[in-house]
Amino acid sequence: MAQVRTPRRTTAKEFGQGIARWVLESVALIVVLVALWQVLTSVFHPLYFPTPVAIWGQIARAWFTPLGFTADILPSFERVTLGWLLAAVIGVPLGVAVGRSRSFAEYVTPLVHYARAVPPPVILPIFMIFFGVGNAMKVVFIAVGVLWPILLNVIKGVESVETVQLDTATVYGIGGSRRLLHVVLPAAMPDILAGLRISLALAFVLMVISEMIAASGGIGYQILQSQAQFDILNMWAGIVVLAVGGVVFNAVLTTIEGRVLRWHRGQRREAL
């Protein structure tokens, strides 16, 4: 009788080593690029490209101060977080419902594909009319803009659950909410998390757009004002702050994804 081999789970030690290796490789690449940037800008002195040392000094003086942090950095990251979470709260349940119901999908899918084809910046004036130019408008604008990657990936993940898994659940009497929680959602989780990661990057883009057009503070607003005043150093400082924030947000989500999908990666390694 053939022996059935069960997939080996990734241990906490192996997971920690993988994260540490990824961090070291990423940091090493960043250090090399920054060092190259520093050398080239120190030698050639380009007008529009200050040195990394000068940019860091400007960040410390203008951005990492109590006023700069509370007036610009914190509100921007708060808008990204709230808008992204709102889209996730709406997109994941709706995507599961569409993916599980063929009749519901026939009505909703054409609307989803039509709505996602509209560029979010085009509808920003509409949000300004209904919500004004306050924080609520920016959060809702981000949420609507990043909803579609989440929704489409959730639908794809739920629809791609293998029939064998569903039939096995039926044989063992697993139905209703238990089937959803223990069969459908775990099988669709890779696609769900992929949609959340894609939407997070898009949330930063929409945050900057909303702050450049309708705001009196925030990272996007400060970058645009610095460019208009020909303050190249502060403009680059804002860009670096935005990039670092995006890396931190992505690293947190990547860590969560690694923990949630440890079983999935273990099964893939065993299957190869």
Residue 224 confidence (pLDDT): 94
* Sequence-separated (6 or more) residues with CB below 8 Å from residue 150: 87, 88, 91, 92, 95, 192, 195, 196, 199
pLDDT digits (tens, 9 = 90+) for 65-74: 888 888 899 9
Instruction: Tell me whether residue 5 is in a domain.
Output: no
Instruction: Tell me whether residue 29 is in a domain.
Output: no
Instruction: Tell me whether residue 21 is in a domain.
Output: no
Cα 108 to Cα 37: distance, rounded to the nearest angstrom: 49
pLDDT band for position 11 (50/70/90)?
low
Instruction: Tell me whether residue 20 is in a domain.
Output: no
pLDDT band for position 42 (50/70/90)?
confident
Instruction: Tell me whether residue 162 is in a domain.
Output: yes
Instruction: Tell me whether residue 22 is in a domain.
Output: no
217 DSSP 8-state letter:
S
Cα 63 to Cα 219: distance, rounded to the nearest angstrom: 9
Q: What is the mean predicted confidence (pLDDT) over 173-202?
A: 88
Residue 189 has pLDDT above 60, yes or no: yes
Percent of the chain with pLDDT over 70: 88
* Block residue for tokens 């005043």: 229
pLDDT digits (tens, 9 = 90+) for 98-154: 988 888 888 888 888 888 888 888 989 999 999 888 899 999 999 999 999 999 999
Q: What is the mean predicted confidence (pLDDT) over 159-181?
A: 82
In total, how many domains does the chain have? 1
Residue 271 has pLDDT above 50, yes or no: no
Instruction: Tell me whether residue 38 is in a domain.
Output: no
Range of the domain at 68: 50-271
Q: What is the mean predicted confidence (pLDDT) over 165-187?
A: 82
Residue 232 has pLDDT above 90, yes or no: yes
Instruction: Tell me whether residue 167 is in a domain.
Output: yes
CATH number of the domain enclosing 97 = 1.10.3720.10
Q: What is the mean predicted confidence (pLDDT) over 195-207?
A: 95
Q: What is the b/e burial string over 77-116, where b = at least 16 CB atoms within 10 angstroms of the residue's CB? A: bebbbbbbebbbeebbebbbebbbeeeebeebeeebeeee
pTM for the predicted model, two decimal places: 0.83
Q: How many CB atoms lie within 10 A of CB 178?
A: 12
